[in-house]
Structure 1
Amino acid sequence: MDRRTLLGAALGACALIGLPAAQAAELPYDDKGDPFKFILDLNNAVLDRIRGDKSLKSGDIEAVRKLVDGLIMPAVDFTMMTRMTVGPKWRSATDEQRKALEEGFELLLMRVYSGALTNVTDQRVELRPTRSKAIRDEMVIRTLMKGSGTAQPVGLDYRIYRAKEKTWKIVDVNIEGIWMVENYRSQFASILNQEGVDGLIRQFKEKGESLAASMKSPGAKE
């Protein structure tokens, strides 16, 4: 598996997709307790859910939406993630534009990463060895995703913070040294500078439609 595939497999689009607030349900992780355990339990619950659901393993978009809405979204501050990715232009965007940016970013990321779920097998996520487990209001939790076979473990780090309601929220993800927010911010910067916020919204729509069409093309997985 390549790095992008492993990221999708590990996260199940965790931290990459923003959806309306999830319906109240019992979550398989404690988002107010130990932040290290929170990250481990979230990741491994996502992996377990993918392994047990054929529609998720096939990369079905609606199945991914349900997974994210019910299990992942409560752990993510996607508004902050989108704001950090867009950068200074976010401040001048209208409420309508901000909503469109979040929706467009969500769809783009979902299309990009949903196909990676087909590669989930026996992977598990564990903490990297660390000397300090001091708990602070803003933290980076460093983990490794391991599976059987000869593949090397993959480093996955999570930037989290403690929200006002005392829950932990993920705002960025790093795979093998590449932070998602920084990576996408550099990609979007030229579009924002040349075409503004509306130009980026159009790019999101066009890219999402292109990826959706490619997934429906001959030979693509349903």
Structure 2
Amino acid sequence: MKKYLGISGLLATWLVAFPAAAAEISPDTLVDNTAQEVLSIVRQDKELRAGNMAKILDLVEAKVLPHFNFTRMTRLAMGKNWNKATPQQQEELVKEFRTLLVRTYSNALSTYSDYKIKVEPVRSKAEDTDTTVKTKVMQDSGQPVDIDYSMEKTGDGWKVYDVTVAGVSLVTNYRSTFNSQVREGGVEKLLKTLGDKNRALAANDKKAAGELKTVATQ
């Protein structure tokens, strides 16, 4: 699970700086253009490469969130348990899941700046509203990693609702964990687990920031 979450951080490498006219661009061109731009940004920014988490989080919060359909992702990850949650719980689940994913991407962003991303052309019709963009992350050593983005066309442009890394769907992978939590203690148990995880990640970020500051002043 930990390894999978780490590799899923590769999503961040192309979702950090969407162009303003994203709605007018085909999904594969959007992915390709953004990947190259974001990799260039990270490579040229010493603070990003050094792991300045505050700066990375600001970047991801500003540029990633508008291009994910977190509500659909959360609903898919919950599966049949989505309808067991009250409207308020559903809203809280989306918020906590979004926070978890954003921190996962942010933690991995600086790690993959030296990788290359190859995007395969999408063969679809102009009227299509759902597609999969297939990419390969080219590593210096080892086999390429396949990452596929399930995307839907909305009035606000193309949005991601699932990601498949090396054949493993993100929402399907989380579904087993979510189902287990709901079985043990209902939706409230899942909310508590997600909240605890996010608070732990935030505390680690704060600790890392303090260590970076100490090193910088020495």
TM-score range for the pair, normalised by the shorter chain length: 0.7 to 0.9
2:59 is matched with which residue?
67
1:180 is matched with which residue?
170
Letter in 1 for 2:143: Q
Could you tell me the TM-score, scaled by structure 1's length? 0.78
Structure 2 CA distance for aligned equivalents of residues 152 and 26 of structure 1: 28
**CA positional deviation for 1:123:** 1.9
Letter in 1 for 2:191: I
Structure 1: gaps (5+ residues): 16-24
Letter in 1 for 2:170: M
Whether the 8 Å CA contact 1:13–1:110 is kept in 2: the answer is no
Structure 1 pair 29–3 and aligned structure 2 pair: CA distance change class (3 A): farther
Structure 1 pair 46–13 and aligned structure 2 pair: CA distance change class (3 A): closer
Structure-to-structure mapping, 1:162-177, within 5 angstroms: 162-163=153-154, 165=155, 167-177=157-167
Structure-to-structure mapping, 1:96-175, within 5 angstroms: 96-128=88-120, 133-135=123-125, 136-147=128-139, 149-163=140-154, 165=155, 167-175=157-165
Q: In structure 1, the residue corresponding to 2:33 is in which secondary structure?
A: helix
Structure 1 pair 54–91 and aligned structure 2 pair: CA distance change class (3 A): farther
Structure 1 pair 193–3 and aligned structure 2 pair: CA distance change class (3 A): closer
Letter in 1 for 2:166: E
- Of 194-203 and 35-44, the range deviating more from structure 2: 35-44
Cα deviation, 1:1-48, whole Å, max 9, x if unaligned, reads x6644431x222878xxxxxxxxx982663332221012223333333
**CA positional deviation for 1:150:** 2.3
Q: In structure 1, the residue corresponding to 2:110 is in which secondary structure?
A: helix
The question of 1:27 aligning with 2:19 is answered yes
**CA positional deviation for 1:179:** 0.7
Letter in 1 for 2:8: L
Could you tell me the TM-score, scaled by structure 2's length? 0.79
Letter in 2 for 1:49: I
Give me the CA root mean square deviation: 3.1
**2:179 aligned to which of 177, 185, 189:** 189
**Greater RCO, CA 8 A, separation 6+:** 1
Structure 1 CA distance for aligned equivalents of residues 93 and 142 of structure 2: 36
Cα deviation, 1:126-164, whole Å, max 9, x if unaligned, reads 224x7x7123221111111124x323221110001111x
- Of 32-41 and 167-176, the range deviating more from structure 2: 32-41
Number of matched pairs: 208
Structure 2 CA distance for aligned equivalents of residues 111 and 133 of structure 1: 33
Which structure: greater helix fraction? 2
Structure 2 CA distance for aligned equivalents of residues 140 and 209 of structure 1: 33
Structure 2 CA distance for aligned equivalents of residues 219 and 167 of structure 1: 35
Whether the 8 Å CA contact 1:123–1:145 is kept in 2: the answer is yes
Task: Give me the identity figure in percent.
Answer: 29
Structure-to-structure mapping, 1:197-216, within 5 angstroms: 197-215=187-205
Whether the 8 Å CA contact 2:117–2:138 is kept in 1: the answer is yes
Letter in 2 for 1:53: D
Structure 1 pair 74–104 and aligned structure 2 pair: CA distance change class (3 A): closer
**CA positional deviation for 1:215:** 4.7
